[in-house]
Amino acid sequence: MPAPSIPLRTRFEYRQAEEIRDAFARHHVRYLFIGKSGAILLGFPDTTQDADLFVERTARNGRALAQSLRELGFALTDAQASEIERGKDFVQLKNGPFDLDLIFAPDGIERFSDAWARHIEVEGFPVCHIDDIIASKAATNRQKDRESLPRLRAFREYWLQKRREK
């Protein structure tokens, strides 16, 4: 009898970021890439299994976000759509073409407007500043985040130096 197949988790890929960017632009969703996916878009040499998005918490933005996610192929339940529309602090989606974490209140960042004022545009992708990514990872205080912080801080120095050279 063959062993049951276990689906492999996919890695976050540039193509997925493009799909998110394009669908969210069509619906005017205000968001920022955060976490390791945000760092990767800034050039951090690593991989992750999902995209992390810091989403502005407004009713209009929540409705537009739910529409965008359905367009992308996420099979949102009514409960998930409601959580998204009201801006629940954290919504994890694994029922679409890729895994997605929606974060309406990330640890270490006071307000979306503050992060938006500091954000970086990378090839049309709105990305949290590396300092916000690091602050959020440090504030969550999870073991895997504590382990990645030294590399993220070293990358920060490299990234800031490259920006100064431009």
How does pLDDT run across 65-111, given as a tens digit for each residue?
999 999 999 999 999 999 999 999 999 999 999 999 999 999 999 99
- pLDDT at residue 25 above 90? yes
Q: What is the mean pLDDT of the chain?
A: 93
Residue 12 is predicted with a pLDDT of 87
Using only C-alpha atoms, what is the Rg of the chain?
Answer: 16
User: Token pair 């669908």 is at which residue?
Assistant: 23
Structure tokens at 58: 């407004």
**CA 124, CA 7: separation in Å to the nearest integer?**
32
User: Token pair 């919504």 is at which residue?
Assistant: 91
Q: What is the band of 38 on the pLDDT scale with cuts at 50, 70, 90?
A: very high
Structure tokens at 72: 């992308």
Asked whether the CA dihedral 142, 145, 54, 14 is positive or negative, the reply is: negative
**CA 128, CA 10: separation in Å to the nearest integer?**
23
Q: What is the band of 11 on the pLDDT scale with cuts at 50, 70, 90?
A: confident
All structural domains of the chain, each given as residue ranges with its CATH number in brackets, are 14-165 (3.30.460.40)
